């Protein structure tokens, strides 16, 4: 078996926030949100991160994408520590790792035409080149018509808006996509369209995908390796079906038990 060569990795990351002092002379308290986290993704691989609300998923992605600097530990992109990288390496990292957020309606400016919104990352990352050609490429990749460019966000359904948000993330030609609850605001029928699209992108573009959700069945469907996070620690890592059928950590078991299915509902075992 060949050794894993992660494209994006975090090693032994710990993050704590300071709490307000309770009294003038008491020492400031602190709250550890992440503790000794190891997490990585390779090219062409979809990895999942699941955990209850407040477990630390969003904090982990903020650190993974360089939006926040960890108190200790390292974030490596292509083997280089992003916090000690030179300017060229940092610029490369910033365009190579892109995010897709939970609610496409609030992540897209309602007054901006879709075409303008898609060009936004190119402008903020100062990427030169033939952007019109690129726009058409990404629209094809996410399965949207070119007429979308002229329209405004309110003219689209939730599923279409999430495609637009994915298209925007793809514009700078990233190598890793980090998606924080990308389908939890969508209907099941539409959820499936977006999940299938993400899987196609991983395969066709050799993207690394970090997929976050609190619903284990959605993550199991989309990824090939899942980390379970609870109270800021990774408590279990494994293949989705393994975790589903033989959870070993109690926190994983909790998440598995919480998944409702039509079958468990009909047979009266769901609640």
Partner 1 sequence: MTTPPAIEVKNLTVGYEDLNAVRGVSFTLPAGGRMGLVGESGSGKSMTALALMGLLPAGWEAHGEVLHDGVNLVTETDKALSSRRGRTISMVFQDPMSSLNPVRRVGDQIADVIHRHNKVSRRDAMRQAVDLMVQMNLPRPDQLARSYPHQISGGQKQRIMIAMALACYPQLIIADEPTTALDVTVQKQVLRLLNAATRERNSALLMITHDLPVIAAMCDTVAVMYAGRIVEYGPVQDVFRNPRHHYTRGLLDSQPTMDNIALDGSSRLVSIPGMVPPLQRLPSGCAFNPRCPAATEKCRTEMPELGPNGAACWHPVGAVQVVEA
Ligand X SMILES: Nc1ncnc2c1ncn2[C@@H]1O[C@H](COP(=O)(O)OP(=O)(O)OP(=O)(O)O)[C@@H](O)[C@H]1O
For the segment 208-247, give every residue that binds partner 1 (CB under 8 A).
214-218, 220-224, 239-241, 244-245
Is the CB of 172 or the CB of 182 nearer to Mg ion? Answer: 182
Radius of gyration of the chain (CA): 20
List the alpha helices (DSSP H) in 19-99: 57-64, 87-96
Residue 72, binding choice from Mg ion, partner 1, ligand X, none, Cβ under 5 to 8 Å by partner class: none
Least CB distance to partner 1 at residue 158 (A) = 7
Measured CA to CA, the distance from residue 24 to residue 41 in angstroms comes to 45
* Residue 173 is a binding residue for Mg ion (CB under 5 A): no
CB neighbour list of residue 210: distance below 8 Å, 6 or more residues apart: 8, 41, 47, 49, 61, 64, 176, 177, 178, 179
Q: Which residues are registered as beta bridge partners of 226?
A: 48, 238
Can residue 41 be called a binding residue for partner 1 (CB under 8 A)?
no
- Could you tell me the sign of the dihedral formed by the alpha carbons of 123, 124, 129, 135, in that order? negative
Could you tell me which residues come within 8 angstroms of residue 101 by beta carbon, excluding any fewer than 6 positions away?
A: 107, 165, 180, 181, 182
- Nearest distance in Å: CB 223, partner 1: 6
Q: Closer CB to partner 1, residue 96 or residue 193?
A: 193
Compute the Cα dihedral for 215, 185, 194, 67 and give only its sign.
negative
Give exposure, 65-102, as e/b (b: 16+ Cβ within 10 Å): bbeeebeebebbbbebebeebeeeeeebbbbbbbbbbb
**Site of interaction with ligand X (CB under 6 A):** 17, 31, 33, 51, 53-59, 214
Using left for φ > 0, alpha for ψ between -120 and 50, and beta otherwise, residue 141 falls in alpha
Task: By CB under 5 A, tell whether 184 contacts Mg ion.
Answer: no
Residue 75 partner contact from partner 1, ligand X, Mg ion, none using kind-dependent CB cut-offs of 5 to 8 Å: none
Pick between residue 11 and residue 217 the one whose CB is nearest to partner 1.
217
The residue range among 42-50, 52-60, 146-154, 248-256 that interacts with Mg ion, by the rule CB under 5 A, is 52-60
Of the residues 58, 80, 89, 217, which one makes contact with Mg ion according to CB under 5 A? 58
Query: From the CB of 147, what's the least distance to ligand X, in Å?
Result: 34
* 107 touches Mg ion (CB under 5 A): no
Give the one entry of partner 1, ligand X, Mg ion, none that residue 56 binds, where binding means its C-beta sits below a cut-off of 5 to 8 angstroms depending on kind.
ligand X
Does 42 bind partner 1 (CB under 8 A)? Our answer is no
Q: Which residues bind partner 1 (CB under 8 A)?
A: 46, 52-53, 157-160, 187-193, 195-196, 199, 214-218, 220-224, 239-241, 244-245, 254-255, 257-266, 270-271
């Amino acid at each position: 078996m060949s050794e894993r060569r992660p494209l994006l990795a975090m090693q032994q990351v710990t993050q704590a926030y300071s709490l307000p002092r309770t009294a003038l002379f008491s020492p400031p308290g602190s709250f550890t949100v992440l503790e000794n986290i190891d997490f990585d993704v390779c090219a062409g691989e979809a990895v999942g991160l699941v955990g209850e609300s407040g477990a630390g998923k969003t904090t982990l992605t903020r650190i993974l994408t360089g939006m926040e600097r960890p108190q200790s530990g390292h974030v490596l992109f292509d083997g280089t520590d992003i916090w000690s990288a030179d300017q060229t390496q940092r610029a490369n990292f910033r365009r190579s790792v892109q995010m897709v957020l939970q609610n496409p309606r609030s992540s897209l400016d309602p007054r901006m035409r879709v075409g303008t919104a898609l060009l936004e990352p190119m402008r903020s990352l100062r990427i030169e080149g033939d952007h019109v050609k690129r726009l058409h490429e990404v629209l094809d990749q996410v399965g949207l018509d070119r007429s979308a460019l002229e329209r405004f966000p309110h003219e689209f359904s939730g599923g279409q808006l999430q495609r637009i948000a994915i298209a925007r993330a793809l514009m700078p030609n990233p190598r890793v996509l980090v998606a924080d609850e990308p389908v939890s605001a969508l209907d099941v029928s539409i959820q499936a369209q977006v999940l299938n699209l993400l899987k196609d992108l991983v395969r066709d573009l050799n993207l690394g995908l970090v997929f976050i959700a609190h619903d284990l069945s959605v993550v199991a469907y989309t990824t090939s390796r899942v980390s379970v996070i609870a109270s800021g620690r990774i408590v279990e890592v494994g293949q989705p079906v393994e975790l589903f059928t033989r959870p070993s950590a109690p926190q994983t078991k909790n998440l598995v038990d919480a998944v409702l299915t039509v079958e468990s509902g009909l047979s009266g075992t769901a609640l």
